[in-house]
Each structure stands twice: as C-alpha cells, then as structure tokens.
Amino acid sequence: MLNGKRILIGVSGGIAAYKVAWLVRLLVKAGAQVRVVMTHAAHEFVTPLTLATLSKNPVVTDFQAGKQGTWNNHVELGLWADLLVLAPATANTLAKLAHGHCDNLLMAVVLSARCPVCVAPAMDVDMYHHASTQDNLRILDQRGVKIIPPGEGELASGLSGEGRLAEPEHILAFIEATLAGKQRLSGKRILVTAGPTFEAIDPVRFIGNHSSGKMGVAIAEKLASEGAEVCFIAGPIAIPTNHPNIKRFDVVSAQDMFDCATQEFLTCDAAILAAAVADYRPKNVAAEKIKKQAHDVPQIELEQTPDILATLGQTKKQTQVLVGFALETTNEIEHAKRKLEKKNLDFIVLNSLRDSGAGFKGDTNKITILHRAGKTINFELKSKNEVAADIVEQLCTYL
Ligand code: PMT
C-alpha cells in the first residue's frame, strides 16, 4: 500500500517529536518515500540529522539553505506529496493552520499542498481541552483535514489525560487507511437514537422530558465524519443534521421509536441509544382535548412503553455491538451496571444529573463508560462533541 507513496512529514516543536523518528522508520520500511519539514522549535526535541538519516532525504526548515542561499521551494514540496502528515501538531501549529498564518516554511508548505492533510495533535491535557484548541480542531475537521486522535495516559508534564501523540504504529495505520480512501467506519451501518419521546395524553398535551437531542446529534455526526452510514432516529428535537452519511427518521413516541429502531437494527453493525425514552405512557389517549373540570382532577392511567434497548439486547447477533446510556440521580454505578447486564449491552455510558454541566440540554457532559468485560473509564467534563468522540473511540475497539 505504501510502496512508492510520497509522504511529507511536518514536525513542530513538542516533546513528542522524538516519536517521529520511529514513524519515519516505519514509513521507509513500508516502502514510502519520506521527506521531512521541521520548525525551528522542533530542532530542540529531535535533530534534523536523525530524521534525514532515517528518511534518506535532506530535512528542511528555512526558506533558504546554506551560505549560497539555495531556495527551499515550499510549493514544490507541497505539490510533491501524496499525503502531508503534521506530527506532532502542537497547539500553536494547529492555531496557525486553522487561521492561515504563514510565518515559517512548514506553514507555507501546508498552504501550498494539494494532497490530503492529516494532523496528529500532541500537547498537554489542558491545552488539548482548551476551547481555542478544540475550536481550531473543529475548523480543520470541517475543512477536511484529517485528525489523528491523540492517545490518553501519562504526559511529559506528569499530568495524565488526553494529548499524547498517537503511537507511530497508529499513525501508520491511519496513513494507510487515508491513502486507501477509507475512513475508520466506512462500510459500517450504525443506529443512533436521540432526543425525548412525547407520549400523548390528548391531542394537546403529552408526557415528555428535557432532552434536547444534542448528545445524540453529536454522536451521529462524529460517526458520519468517520465514514459510517448513520441511521439516526430522532424524537421531537429542534436540531438539524446535514451530513450526507446521516439518514434521519423523525419520530414522536416511544412506540414510533421502537418500531423504527427494531426494523433498522436488523441491518446495522452497532447501535448507540442516547434517547431519553419515556418509560410510561397514558393507557388511553383522549380523542378530544380533556376539558378543565370545576372540581374533578382527571386521573391518567399509565402503562409501560416497550423498552427499545432491552429488545435490541435480546435480539442482537454476536457480531452486533450494542451501547446504551444510563441517566441516573443516585447510586449511579450500581444502576448503570444493572442496566448493562439486564439489557445485554457491550458497554454503557453513564451520566449523572448530580454532576454539574452533565445531562440534559447543555453543550457539555461528564460520562463514565462501563464495559461488559469489567473495565470502567471515567472522563472529565467535556463538550458533547468531545464526549461523542470518546464514545466513538470506545465503539471502534469493538468494530
Ligand atoms: O439530549 P440532551 O439534552 O443532549 O441530553 C442527553 C441525555 C441526558 C438525554 C443523554 O446523555 C442520556 O443520558 N440519554 C439516556 C437517557 C435515559 O433515558 O436514560 P435511562 O437510564 O432512563 O435509560 C437507559 C437506556 O435505555 C438508554 O439508552 C435509553 O435510550 C434506553 N431506553 C429506555 C427506555 C425505553 N423505553 N427504551 C429505551 O431504549
């Protein structure tokens, strides 16, 4: 796959630059032609001599080289590449790229490139989660730049969290998939539910809840951007979805959502049920508006709605992956574990209304993922887009 491919590596100044030596080695071993552009700051972390030796090509940093002032032609470099990979991409380099700054050779090369561009962010956890870095990544993502997700774990600062440069082997796999025109989830069909359900009392009134659909929409969009065909079943929500990979079904009640989900799941590889489905509905729906009585208060008899997640859990094939949500207010872990087992899920995403910034309506959420095999991962408060990326990351380990 990589034999003869021209891979241009852009290295910016972060401690993770030391890992690029191994990436270059892996690429050359796989038959790729590799050239490297470094920023001055990157020289502090890995020497040009190391990368020139491993890539078997001179490494460039400045517009002019040598005393004679030979010109390093950024346009020629940009046009030479089949793929440009910025690794590590520091917060500074991402910001420059998002806003078109062109104050060094690397940025001039990136702006001149006509090939696909991948960025592998690497920085400390708080820098990575800073709103400005996340905004810059979103801008780049929307422009079609491919983001190689950073790893999670111990960082050079001693802190722990997201922000580690993806491992060279992962970057290599990402490069191969990109050159093959494949995205991680291409060929996968994934069902997502979102929003509330409305259970009619009469033609005017209903039983509902506070779900806005934001969490489910973020998941559907993330899956679509990774190449999945998304079957998106939305309760009554006001958020539009525009991605061409999203096939949307708008429903109102738990029964509508059940009918749609059980049918569509038959041809899906996975399902993530983020909807806040009503557990109860009026047993009898009044045909006309219930009139206000002077003294009587109407009694509404309730019955259970079908449990969509439990039904999918009963019918799922071994190859299908099923993910549920648990929205709790007390004994969170215990309740989530019970749902994980009872509904036959592969993993469950717990969010608690006791965590400020988590749950309904807002743009943030705080989750814990409990895997069936026993592993539990706690995440900090993040934007719902980042939470969606975390959930999709976990799903990918099953697919
Ligand atoms: O939409 P937002 O405003 O962004 O808010 C997001 C959210 C809080 C709604 C979301 O993060 C969330 O927690 N969704 C699940 C809410 C819920 O109904 O949780 P639960 O613990 O009651 O249900 C457990 C699971 O069973 C859920 O996956 C639910 O979709 C599913 N379920 C429940 C009842 C039912 N009849 N059928 C179901 O499929």
Q: Is the CB of 219 under 6 A from ligand 1?
A: no
Confidence of residue 31 (pLDDT cuts 50, 70, 90): very high
Give the position, in ligand 1's atom list, of the atom nearest the Cα of 335.
21
Share the mean pLDDT of the chain: 94
Give the position, in ligand 1's atom list, of the atom nearest the Cα of 214.
4
Q: Whose CA is nearest to atom 24 of ligand 1?
A: 326
Mean pLDDT of 108-132: 95
Single pTM value for the model: 0.68
pLDDT (0 to 100) of residue 295: 87
Give the position, in ligand 1's atom list, of the atom nearest the Cα of 306.
36
Mean pLDDT of 191-220: 98
pLDDT (0 to 100) of residue 184: 83
pLDDT (0 to 100) of residue 165: 94
Are 354 and 334 contacting, i.e. CB atoms less than 8 angstroms apart?
no
Q: Is the CB of 183 under 6 A from ligand 1?
A: no
∠92-98-103 over CA atoms, to 5°? 60
pLDDT in tens, 340-366: 999 999 999 999 999 999 999 999 999
pLDDT (0 to 100) of residue 148: 92
Mean pLDDT of 206-227: 94
Q: Are residues 11 and 118 in the same domain?
A: yes
Give the position, in ligand 1's atom list, of the atom nearest the Cα of 310.
39
Residue 89 lies in a domain: yes
Q: Is the CB of 339 under 6 A from ligand 1?
A: yes
> How many domains does the chain fold into?
2
Q: Which domain holds residue 154?
A: 6-180
Mean pLDDT of 287-302: 93
**Quick check: helix, strand or coil at residue 24?**
helix
Are 59 and 81 contacting, i.e. CB atoms less than 8 angstroms apart?
no
Q: Is the CB of 347 under 6 A from ligand 1?
A: no
Q: Is the CB of 360 under 6 A from ligand 1?
A: yes
pLDDT (0 to 100) of residue 74: 82
Q: Whose CA is nearest to atom 26 of ligand 1?
A: 309
Q: Are residues 92 and 237 in the same domain?
A: no
Are 396 and 184 contacting, i.e. CB atoms less than 8 angstroms apart?
yes
- Dist. CA 71–CA 213, nearest whole Å: 54
Structure tokens at 246: 């999203």
pLDDT higher than threshold 80 for residue 69: no
The residue among 47 and 153 whose pLDDT is bigger is 47
Q: Specify the CATH number for the domain of residue 318.
A: 3.40.50.10300
Q: How would you classify the pairing of strands 64-65 and 70-71? A: antiparallel
Percent of the chain with pLDDT over 90: 81
A 10 A CB-CB count for 153 gives 10
**Quick check: helix, strand or coil at residue 270?**
strand
Percent of the chain with pLDDT over 70: 99
> Which among 227, 230, 223, 225 is positioned nearest to 191, based on CA atoms?
230
Q: Are residues 144 and 161 in the same domain?
A: yes
Q: Are residues 243 and 356 in the same domain?
A: yes
> Is residue 284 annotated as part of the catalytic site, yes or no?
no
- Dist. CA 282–CA 265, nearest whole Å: 27
Which helix (H) or strand (E) is 396 found in, with range? helix 384-398
Residue 1 lies in a domain: no
Q: Specify the CATH number for the domain of residue 106.
A: 3.40.50.1950
Are 165 and 93 contacting, i.e. CB atoms less than 8 angstroms apart?
no
Find the largest Cα–Cα distance for the chain. 98
Residue 215 lies in a domain: yes
pLDDT higher than threshold 70 for residue 154: yes
Q: Is the CB of 215 under 6 A from ligand 1?
A: yes
Are 22 and 34 contacting, i.e. CB atoms less than 8 angstroms apart?
no
pLDDT higher than threshold 70 for residue 306: yes
Q: How far is CA 101 from the centre of its chain?
A: 27
Confidence of residue 290 (pLDDT cuts 50, 70, 90): very high
Residue 370 lies in a domain: yes
- Of 151, 180, 209, which one is at a domain's C-terminal end? 180
> Which among 389, 392, 350 is positioned nearest to 369, based on CA atoms?
350
> Which among 17, 4, 8 is positioned nearest to 37, based on CA atoms?
8
Q: Is the CB of 164 under 6 A from ligand 1?
A: no
Q: Which of 57, 73, 92, 209 is catalytic?
A: 209
CA of 276 from ligand 1 middle (Å) equals 3
pLDDT (0 to 100) of residue 67: 65
Q: Is the CB of 145 under 6 A from ligand 1?
A: no
A 10 A CB-CB count for 163 gives 27
- Dist. CA 305–CA 257, nearest whole Å: 11
Q: Are residues 242 and 375 in the same domain?
A: yes
Indicate the residue type of 4.
G
* Cβ neighbours for 393, distance < 8 A, ≥ 6 positions apart: 149
Instruction: Count Cα neighbours of 164 within 13 Å in the Cβ-side half-sphere.
Output: 15
pLDDT (0 to 100) of residue 289: 96
Mean pLDDT of 162-173: 91
> Which among 265, 181, 222 is positioned nearest to 391, based on CA atoms?
222
Mean pLDDT of 206-229: 94
- Lowest mean pLDDT across 244-253, 323-332, 351-360: 244-253
In angstroms and rounded to an integer, the radius of gyration of the C-alpha atoms of the chain is 25
Q: Whose CA is nearest to atom 13 of ligand 1?
A: 327
Residue 222 lies in a domain: yes
Residue 295 lies in a domain: no
pLDDT (0 to 100) of residue 153: 84
Q: Are residues 246 and 282 in the same domain?
A: yes
Q: Are residues 104 and 227 in the same domain?
A: no
CA of 200 from ligand 1 middle (Å) equals 19
Residue 294 lies in a domain: no
CA of 282 from ligand 1 middle (Å) equals 19
Mean pLDDT of 278-298: 94
Mean pLDDT of 80-85: 95
Q: Are residues 154 and 217 in the same domain?
A: no
Structure tokens at 397: 């380990």
pLDDT (0 to 100) of residue 72: 76
Instruction: Count Cα neighbours of 205 within 13 Å in the Cβ-side half-sphere.
Output: 14
Q: Are residues 41 and 97 in the same domain?
A: yes
Structure tokens at 392: 């999709």
Residue 292 lies in a domain: no
Are 191 and 248 contacting, i.e. CB atoms less than 8 angstroms apart?
no
Q: Are residues 12 and 159 in the same domain?
A: yes
DSSP 92-154: HHHHHHHHT---SHHHHHHHH--S-EEEEE---HHHHHSHHHHHHHHHHHHTTPEE---EEEE
- Of 153, 180, 207, which one is at a domain's C-terminal end? 180
CA of 368 from ligand 1 middle (Å) equals 14
pLDDT higher than threshold 70 for residue 253: yes
CA of 267 from ligand 1 middle (Å) equals 22
Mean pLDDT of 313-317: 97
Q: Are residues 371 and 324 in the same domain?
A: yes
- Dist. CA 258–CA 161, nearest whole Å: 38
Structure tokens at 385: 């887009």
Q: Are residues 18 and 90 in the same domain?
A: yes
Q: Is the CB of 367 under 6 A from ligand 1?
A: no
pLDDT (0 to 100) of residue 324: 98
Mean pLDDT of 42-63: 96
- Of 180, 201, 232, which one is at a domain's C-terminal end? 180
